[in-house]
C-alpha cells in the first residue's frame, strides 16, 4: 500500500548543481527539508556558503563544492569529492545552466555557442556519466535534469540556449534508456518562466517601464497569468528524487503555468 514515507529523502546523498540561487537553491532547500544530505555546487563559493548556512540552520548536512561545470575535469572533481566525503551518490540534479546573452541566429558567434553548450549540454552529459558510474556500482540512483520549455519551442534570440535545452531532453532519454536496468531513473523537469536572476536578466537592459510592459505582455500569454516562483519547482524534484518515482524514467514534468498551451490562446 502506498505510504507517504516514499517521498522521504532521509539520509540520501544529493548533488544539486547551480544550488547557490534560483531554482537550484529552492530544490536544495526542498531536499534538505525532505531529510537529504545535500551537496551544492556552482562557481561562486561565497554564494554557496550563504545558501549552506540557511540549510545547516534547518539541520541539514551540507557540503559546498565550488566548480565550473562547463569543464569536464571539474564535473569529475565534484563527483570524486562527494564520494570521498559520503561514499555514495543517490541523487544528481543537473540544474546549473546559463543564457549569458541574446543574439539573433545571424549574429550568434562560436564563443557564445561554446559557452552555452559547454555548461548546459556537455556539462550535463558528463556530470551524469560520472555520477551514474557511482550509482551503478551502488545499485541505483536518480538523475534529474532541468531542461526548459524552450527545448520544445525555440525562443527568439536565444537559439543556442533553446537548442541546448532540446539536447538536455534527449540526454535524459538516452541515459534513461541505457541505465534503466541498473536501477537508475533519469527524468527531466521543464520549467517555463520562473522569477530568478536568469529570468530577470532578460529585462535588465530595459527601462523599468519597458521591462514592466514586457513582463505584462508575457503574463498575458500565460494561462496562469503570472510568472512562477523557484519553490514551485521543488515538489517535482522531490518526487523524482524519491522512491515514489521508482517506475518513472525518461519522463518530463513541464512546470510552466500552462505556457506551452498558450499558442492556442493567440
Ligand atoms: N528561470 C527560468 O525562467 C528558467 C526557465 C526554464 C529553465 N530554467 C533552467 O533552470 C536552471 C536554473 O536556472 P535559474 O533561473 O535558477 O538561474 P540562475 O538564478 O541564474 O542560477 C543559475 C545557477 O547556476 C550556476 N552556474 C552558472 N554558470 C555556472 C557554471 N559555469 N558552472 C557552475 N555553476 C554555474 C549559478 O551560480 P554561479 O553563477 O555562481 O556559477 C547559479 O547557482 C537552468 O538550467 C535554467 O536553464 C530556468
Domains of the chain in sequence order? 4-194+230-264 (3.40.50.720)
Torsion sign over Cα 30, 261, 222, 165 = positive
Q: Is the CB of 43 under 6 A from ligand 1?
A: yes
> Cα–Cα distance between 230 and 25 in angstroms, integer?
8
By percentage, how much of the chain surpasses pLDDT 70? 98
* Distance of CA 182 from the midpoint of ligand 1 (Å): 29
Contact between residue 197 and residue 261 where contact means Cβ atoms under 8 Å apart:
no
**Residue owning the nearest CA to atom 33 of ligand 1:** 42
* Distance of CA 5 from the midpoint of ligand 1 (Å): 30
Three-state SS at 254: strand
Q: For position 173, what pLDDT does the model report?
A: 98
pLDDT beyond 80 at 266: no
Per-residue pLDDT, averaged over 37-52, amounts to 98
Q: Which residue from 23, 114, 150, 228 has its CB within 8 A of the most atoms of ligand 1, so it is best to mutate?
A: 23
Catalytic residue among 29, 125, 161, 247: 161
Tens of pLDDT, residue by residue over 151-175, are 999 999 999 999 999 999 999 999 9
The answer to whether 39 touches 56, Cβ cutoff 8 Å, is: no
**Phi, psi of 5, deg, nearest 5:** -65, -15
Cβ of 46 below 6 Å from ligand 1: no
pTM above 0.85, yes or no: yes
Q: Is the CB of 141 under 6 A from ligand 1?
A: no
Is 247 noted as a catalytic residue in this protein? no
For range 21-34, the mean pLDDT = 98
Residue nearest to atom 34 of ligand 1 (CA): 42
For residues 40-46, average pLDDT: 98
Summary mean pLDDT of the chain: 96
Query: SS3 letters for 9-62?
Result: CCCCEEEEECCCCHHHHHHHHHHHHCCCEEEEECCCHHHHHHHHHHHHHCCCCE
- Residue-level pLDDT at 205: 84
Question: For the segment 60-113, what is each residue's pLDDT rounded down to a tens digit?
Answer: 999 999 999 999 999 999 999 999 999 999 999 999 999 999 999 999 999 999
Report which protein residue has its CA nearest ligand 1's atom 18.
Answer: 198
Give the pLDDT band of residue 263 (cuts 50, 70, 90). Answer: low
β-pair partners for 39: 15, 63
Counting Cβ atoms within 10 Å, is residue 209 exposed (0-12), middle (13-18) or buried (19+)? exposed
So what's the pLDDT on residue 87?
98
How far apart CA 24 and CA 22 sit, in angstroms, is 6
Q: Is 69 in the pocket of ligand 1 (CB under 6 A)?
A: yes
Q: d(Cα 253, Cα 237) in Å, to the nearest integer?
A: 9
Alpha helices in the chain (DSSP H): 22-33, 45-57, 72-86, 110-117, 124-138, 159-179, 197-201, 208-221, 231-241
pLDDT, tens only, 171-215: 999 999 999 999 999 999 999 999 999 999 988 888 999 989 999
- Contact criterion met (CB below 8 Å) for 141 and 90: yes
Q: Determine the distance separating the centroid of ligand 1 and the alpha carbon of 195, expressed in angstroms.
A: 12
Q: What gap in Å lies between CA 239 and CA 121, rounded to an integer?
A: 24
Q: pLDDT tier at 264 (50, 70, 90 boundaries)?
A: low
For the chain, the distance separating the N- and C-terminal CA atoms, rounded to the nearest angstrom, is: 45
Is 70 exceeded by the pLDDT of residue 236? yes
CA distance 234 to 36: 13
Amino acid at each position: 500500500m502506498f505510504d507517504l514515507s516514499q517521498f522521504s529523502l532521509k539520509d540520501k546523498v544529493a548533488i544539486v548543481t547551480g544550488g547557490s540561487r534560483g531554482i537550484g537553491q529552492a530544490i536544495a532547500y526542498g531536499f534538505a527539508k525532505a531529510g537529504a544530505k545535500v551537496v551544492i555546487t556552482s562557481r561562486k563559493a561565497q554564494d554557496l556558503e550563504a545558501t549552506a548556512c540557511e540549510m545547516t540552520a534547518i539541520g541539514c548536512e551540507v557540503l559546498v563544492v565550488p566548480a565550473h561545470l562547463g569543464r569536464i575535469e571539474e564535473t569529475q572533481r565534484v563527483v570524486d569529492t562527494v564520494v570521498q566525503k559520503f561514499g555514495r551518490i543517490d541523487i544528481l540534479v543537473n540544474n546549473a545552466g546559463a543564457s549569458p546573452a541574446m543574439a539573433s541566429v545571424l549574429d550568434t558567434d562560436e564563443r557564445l555557442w561554446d559557452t552555452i553548450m559547454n555548461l548546459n549540454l556537455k556539462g550535463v552529459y558528463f556530470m551524469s556519466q560520472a555520477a551514474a558510474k557511482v550509482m551503478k556500482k551502488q545499485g541505483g540512483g536518480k538523475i534529474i535534469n532541468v531542461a526548459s520549455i524552450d527545448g520544445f519551442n525555440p525562443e527568439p534570440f536565444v537559439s543556442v540556449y533553446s537548442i541546448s535545452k532540446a539536447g538536455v531532453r534527449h540526454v535524459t532519454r538516452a541515459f534513461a534508456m541505457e541505465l534503466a536496468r541498473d536501477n537508475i531513473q533519469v527524468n527531466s523537469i521543464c520549467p517555463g518562466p520562473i522569477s530568478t536572476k536568469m529570468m530577470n536578466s532578460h529585462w535588465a537592459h530595459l527601462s523599468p517601464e519597458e521591462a514592466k510592459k514586457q513582463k505584462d505582455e508575457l503574463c498575458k500569454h500565460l494561462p496562469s497569468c503570472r510568472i512562477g516562483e523557484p519553490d514551485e519547482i521543488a515538489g517535482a524534484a522531490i518526487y523524482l528524487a524519491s522512491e515514489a518515482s521508482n517506475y518513472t524514467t525518461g519522463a518530463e514534468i513541464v512546470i510552466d503555468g500552462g505556457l506551452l498551451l498558450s499558442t492556442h490562446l493567440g
